[in-house]
Structure 1
Amino acid sequence: MLTAKSLFQEIIDDDESFQLFCSIAASGEAQGGWENGRIAALVPPGMRELAPKIARHGADEDKHGRIFNALLKKRGLEPVPVPSDTDYTMLLERRGIGLAHDKLRRDERLSERDIIVYLSHSRVTEQRAADQMGLLVRYFGDHPELGKAVRMIDDDESNHLAYCHEELLRLNYAGHGRLIQRTLRESALAEIQVYRDVSLAVMSHMGRILGWPRTRAAVLAAGIHAVHAYERAAGWHKMVDLEMPERRDALGTPAAPAHAF
């Protein structure tokens, strides 16, 4: 029977598909680390209290990239180039979601609006990351090879999501509610389309590597389209709601090292 767990198991059991999976994940985390590092360096003077938290977010993302690369190294594998159609971060940027890399490469202070856009975009993408890592922990939290890695990353993603909720609520109370809600909605609707496209691309590459028959590939594609239809109709609301998290000041401490990796 085809299940999410059996699908993931098949991917991680094969060296070539595992190599692509970890390479895609490591690349995305490294990009996130760079983005957050640049944003932390360019925070406007009136919002400097956020800089250490944004830097901590970036340090966590860098750590996750190192963890995925370490998982490859444990198997004697090297990272492989990431196909452009699986590059989630790049495809989001092309849709105008988040802060453009060209802006982040310049040594010019960001505006307050830029930081609100960044936090709103992060709230959406961190929801996706938290949901995905929660699924991996559910299926592989006790896995001898992956368990410790996915549990560590899952805890960090929960912190990132809590931080986004708390900071956006603070900015909402400061009078930025209309911009926040508009940006959240735009980001969520764009993200679910990009996620669908990336999911289809990843499954296509995995199917080629693992030799899936056309019928199986068609079933998986139909499932991805069904998820997108649900998210387009109603599921996106989960990505835009704001509530005070149980974890307060989740990024107010230094990043936990990943010595085991």
Structure 2
Amino acid sequence: MLSARSVFREILDNDESFRLFCSIAASGEAQGGWENGRIAALVPETERALAPKIARHGADEDKHGRIFRALLKKRGLQPVDVPPETDYTMLLERHGIGLAHDRLKAAEPLTVQDIVTYLAHSRVTEQRASEQMRLLLRYFADDPDIGRAVRMISHDEDNHLAYCHEELLRFAYAGHGPAIQRTLRDCALAEIRIHRDVSLAVMERMGRVLGWAPAKRQLLAAGIHALHGYERAGGWRRMVSLKTPRRRDALGGPATSAAEFA
């Protein structure tokens, strides 16, 4: 029977598909770590109190990249180059979602509006990350190889999402509400399209590695298109709502260690 659990299990049990999965994940996390690190360094003077939280966010992303690389090392595997069509973070940046890398590479401080844009982008992408890690957590929390990694990363992604809600609400109360809603909507509509395209590209790559039959590939592609159809019809709205999180000040301390994965 074809199910999300069986597809993930097949990917994780094969060395080549596992290597591609972890390489894509590690690359995206490392990119997120760099972006957050640069944003923390360029925070405007009026928002310097936010810099440690942004830096913590970046440190968490770097940690996740190390965890995925450690999972590869544990199986005696080396990372592979990430195919451009599967590079979620690069495609988001190319489509103008978030802050441009040229902006982050410069020495000029960011503006408050830049920080609002960064938080809105993060609120959308962290929603996706939180949901994906909860899915893996449901299936593999007790897995002897990846269970600890999934639990740790899922916890961090939930923290990141809570932090985005809390900080965006603070900016909304300060008068940035209309700009936040516009940015959230634009980010969400672009993200669901990019997520569909990346999912199709990853599925195609995995199908080649695992030798999936055409019928199986078509069924999985239909599922990806169905999810996008739901999100395009209104599912995207879950990515733009704001509410006070149960986890308050979720990034108010130092990043947790991942030494056990090294």
TM tier, smaller: over 0.9
**Where does 1:88-107 land on structure 2 (aligned, <5 Å)?**
88-107=88-107
- Counterpart amino acid of residue 258 in structure 2: A
Match of 2:137 in 1: 137
Q: CA deviation at 1:95?
A: 1.0
Which ranges in structure 1 are unaligned for 5 or more consecutive residues?
Answer: none
Per-residue CA deviations over 1:23-43 (Å, capped at 9, x if unaligned) read 000000000000000000000
1-side partners of 2:166 and 2:34: how far apart? 23
Alignment length, in residue pairs? 261
Per-residue CA deviations over 1:72-117 (Å, capped at 9, x if unaligned) read 0000000000000000011111111100001000011000000000
- Counterpart amino acid of residue 170 in structure 1: R
How does the TM-score come out when normalised to structure 2? 0.99
Match of 1:118 in 2: 118
**Where does 1:116-195 land on structure 2 (aligned, <5 Å)?**
116-195=116-195
Match of 1:58 in 2: 58
Sequence identity, in percent? 72
What's the Cα RMSD here? Answer: 0.3
Query: Does the alignment pair 1:228 with 2:210?
Result: no
Match of 2:244 in 1: 244
- Counterpart amino acid of residue 193 in structure 2: Q
1-side partners of 2:32 and 2:205: how far apart? 23
**Where does 1:192-211 land on structure 2 (aligned, <5 Å)?**
192-211=192-211
SS at match of 1:260: helix
2-side partners of 1:155 and 1:180: how far apart? 26
2-side partners of 1:236 and 1:40: how far apart? 28
2-side partners of 1:214 and 1:129: how far apart? 29
SS at match of 2:183: helix
Query: Does the alignment pair 1:3 with 2:10?
Result: no
Which ranges in structure 2 are unaligned for 5 or more consecutive residues?
Answer: none
2-side partners of 1:10 and 1:138: how far apart? 16
How does the TM-score come out when normalised to structure 1? 1.00
Per-residue CA deviations over 1:184-220 (Å, capped at 9, x if unaligned) read 0000000000000000000000000000011100000
2-side partners of 1:133 and 1:79: how far apart? 21
Q: CA deviation at 1:259?
A: 1.5
- Counterpart amino acid of residue 12 in structure 1: L
Match of 1:81 in 2: 81
- Counterpart amino acid of residue 48 in structure 1: R
Match of 2:212 in 1: 212
